[in-house]
Amino acid sequence: MAKRIAIPSAVAPTLDDLSRLAEEAHAGLPAQFKQYAQNIIIKVEDFPSDEIIEEMELESPFDILGLYQGVDLPRRSILDIGRLPDIVYLYRRPILDFWCDSGERLPDIVRHVLIHEIGHHFGLSDEDMERIEGED
């Protein structure tokens, strides 16, 4: 079982704290999913880049908790050469803002965002994932 990290309540969790929570969530994925998500790089940054904000037409950098960048599995080909690695970005400040507003546990939020972005790696749309979550 993965070691749970303690985060002092008077101090905002750092980039490293969220990275550890994301690594813990990734390690806890079911084996059948983890085998297809093992080469995904997980990066935690405070906010999305200006380019992402512009490209996604966000009103605020707080409008996005995470992002998958890569070629999803259904669109891959053995003819792909020089493909960049798949990356899941988790955005610390928007996640912390959501955490404060929601009252949910921070590890649960990080896990949810990570799984959501890995869902895009599997080719699922936001609508697909909302439908799946609604079935629970």
How far is 93 from 76, CA to CA, in rounded Å?
A: 32
**53-73: per-residue pLDDT in tens?**
999 999 999 999 999 998 887
pTM tops 0.85, yes or no: no
How far is 4 from 8, CA to CA, in rounded Å?
A: 13
- 38 falls in which pLDDT band (50, 70, 90)? confident
